[in-house]
A and B are shown apart, each in its own frame.
Chain A
């Protein structure tokens, strides 16, 4: 079955990853020697008052070697990270396949028994393991990295997480965290092939699933009601322009919920693993805003609504 071969493939990839990691460490220990030399040269140059051309040339040579080493190290690390991403995507495919298979196997709706705490942990983990964008010198961060918006014709793939604007039962509109099921591009809308749906196949819309299975699960929405969440974290040390800045209006996931609300950025993250600090719009507070709350990079997107509905 497809699932079994996926397993063996995953096992293969894990082995390859292991090898890559070992190679990485070899590379790193090799370049260690040169870095130590550089350190010694620095010390010597700093103790002597004059900088002789001898030292300059020597330093240049050492730097060039170190550069080559650093590049090699970066390459291997990137390969390792790509490998991890590959494994993860395989795992994700496996999960989606299982989900669809499960849907066919029993006509009952999927289990609603995931406890809130478990869901929250999952969300947090997903935010933490969002890959960090580390560009080579001269690279610009791509679309869907941090605050960089998706390109105009971008279509979210099945399994991608998005912020979706849905109409609740009482008529209220809310932005919820959802996962894309499918998209049909016949007429620019999303729809799910092979899924029970009231719409004829050529009405194209996104089909998204509410992450929180307590709510209405499957929604069919047009493209403008769906905002894809970022697929990379932006590194504040190298690409601060890919982060939202202070006072920018965004949609952020309220902590411990699965809904997005309007918020102002209070402070962008300082280190790659840090969260944004945001102020949610909240009429129950005197100044209209909540105290600063932390929201991971994954759950902060640009807000395009001009006014609160």
Chain B
């Protein structure tokens, strides 16, 4: 039984349209006999009236469908088994749910459940069944109380921090300690490449050559001269650039020698007559020789640094990296050591747990003996003492 206020039905007013008032023409036509018939001029009014009737019937239909749906859902929610069972029991009588019976009496009889049923023998069957369903209703309700699983969630979240250390984890630590392969790379200082102005100049020239080649190639397409042309051009460009570079390398009006070479030659030779091939390598060889002899200090580093900001930055970062790596390595070592220690302690603790179990067993045996009102046997007492002592020794190891 449910309360009226729980009822989701809306109890619409299903009165049909009062056609006497709203549809006069319709009413008039109804009153006429077939012979009189309908006049053409009445069609419009009739149409409007029929539309009104149809729209109200349509609306009624929609509302009825909605209400029936609500009723069905509501009934299903509140223990449809009850109704299904009842329905089946009453099949011999009148089906309560089918709309066929127009007489209320039959429906009334079918609808009454536990009350006076349509036949005596049926009511006896019904009673225990109804009671069954009353009970089975409750378990459906109970699970709705939410279980308090907050402690479970808490322990689950804390578990990773308190769990035992496995050998896998130790192995992972050891692997971490291995220095990374690419460490050497990080400390390399790449050599100075071509200066960007030169590189861009070269690239621009190349582009122009390519464009020219493409334009020419488009014209020459029919002759099929495209491929080799572009290759040649690249080579030409390079040669061109090298020539210009070589020219730029000599701001010192025509002197092919480097600074050191010049000074040496000045000291050793009166005039500068001859041209020496490989002047650049001569310069560097002289430099090296002088440094080896201790006459000149290797002064390349600082000179480079002052102008090269990128290099300075690179060196700073490398120093940082070195320091950090060293720090990490020491920490990893410590961690590994601690982990190994912990693993051994874990083993001890495991042994303690087993010893605990044995002590408990012995205790239970003695209690059982006491219950049976007999003194524990010597064997039992000895066993108890043994287990106790074992446990104590392990504990000592642990704390030690």
Asked if B53 is an interface residue, CB under 8 A from chain A, the answer is: yes
| CB atoms of A56 and B15 under 8 A apart | no
| CB atoms of B97 and A61 under 8 A apart | yes
Asked if B269 is an interface residue, CB under 8 A from chain A, the answer is: no
**0/1 string, B38-63, CB within 8 A of A gives 1:** 10100110111011111101111110
Asked if B4 is an interface residue, CB under 8 A from chain A, the answer is: yes
In the complex, the chain B residue whose C-beta lies closest to that of A25 is B30
Asked if B153 is an interface residue, CB under 8 A from chain A, the answer is: no
| CB atoms of B14 and A57 under 8 A apart | no
Task: Give the 5 A-B residue pairs with the shortest CB-CB distance, closest first.
Answer: A64-B99, A54-B111, A70-B61, A77-B54, A129-B44
A56-B75, A58-B108 given; A74·B54 CB < 8 A: yes
**0/1 string, A122-149, CB within 8 A of B gives 1:** 0001001101101111000000000000
| CB atoms of A14 and B16 under 8 A apart | no
A63 to B74, CA, bound (A): 15
A39-B14, A137-B62 given; A21·B30 CB < 8 A: yes
| CB atoms of B1 and A52 under 8 A apart | yes
Asked if B283 is an interface residue, CB under 8 A from chain A, the answer is: no
**0/1 string, A227-260, CB within 8 A of B gives 1:** 0000000010110000000000000000000000
Asked if B113 is an interface residue, CB under 8 A from chain A, the answer is: yes
| CB atoms of A61 and B98 under 8 A apart | yes
**0/1 string, A19-48, CB within 8 A of B gives 1:** 101101100100110110111001001101
| CB atoms of B104 and A134 under 8 A apart | no
Could you say which residues of chain A place their CB within 8 Å of the CB of B108?
A: 54, 58
In the complex, the chain B residue whose C-beta lies closest to that of A22 is B30
Asked if B26 is an interface residue, CB under 8 A from chain A, the answer is: yes
A55 to B111, CA, bound (A): 8
CB contacts under 8 Å to B, within A64-116, are: 64-68, 70-71, 73-74, 77-78, 80-81, 84, 87-88, 91
Asked if A270 is an interface residue, CB under 8 A from chain B, the answer is: no
Asked if B154 is an interface residue, CB under 8 A from chain A, the answer is: no
A64 to B101, CA, bound (A): 11
A134 to B11, CA, bound (A): 24
Q: Which of B64-72, B170-178, B209-217, B232-240 contacts A (4 or more CB under 8 A)?
A: B64-72
Could you say which residues of chain B place their CB within 8 Å of the CB of A19?
A: 34
Chain B interface bracket (under 10, 10 to 19, 20 to 34, 35 or more): 35 or more
In the complex, the chain A residue whose C-beta lies closest to that of B4 is A49
Asked if B366 is an interface residue, CB under 8 A from chain A, the answer is: no
| CB atoms of A77 and B96 under 8 A apart | no
Could you say which residues of chain B place their CB within 8 Å of the CB of A57?
A: 83, 96-97, 107, 110-111
Could you say which residues of chain B place their CB within 8 Å of the CB of A132?
A: 51, 55
Could you say which residues of chain A place their CB within 8 Å of the CB of B101?
A: 61
Asked if A308 is an interface residue, CB under 8 A from chain B, the answer is: no
Contact pick for A77, options B6, B7, B50, B107, CB 8 Å:
B50
A125 to B251, CA, bound (A): 105
| CB atoms of A272 and B40 under 8 A apart | no
A21 to B25, CA, bound (A): 11
**0/1 string, B1-38, CB within 8 A of A gives 1:** 11110110101011110010000001001101010011
Enumerate 10 A-B pairs (CB-CB under 8 Å) in ascending A order.
Answer: A18-B32, A18-B37, A21-B46, A25-B30, A53-B75, A56-B75, A57-B96, A58-B108, A84-B50, A129-B48
| CB atoms of B43 and A67 under 8 A apart | no
A49-B3, A50-B4, A51-B7 given; A134·B55 CB < 8 A: yes
Contact pick for A51, options B1, B19, B51, B52, CB 8 Å:
B1
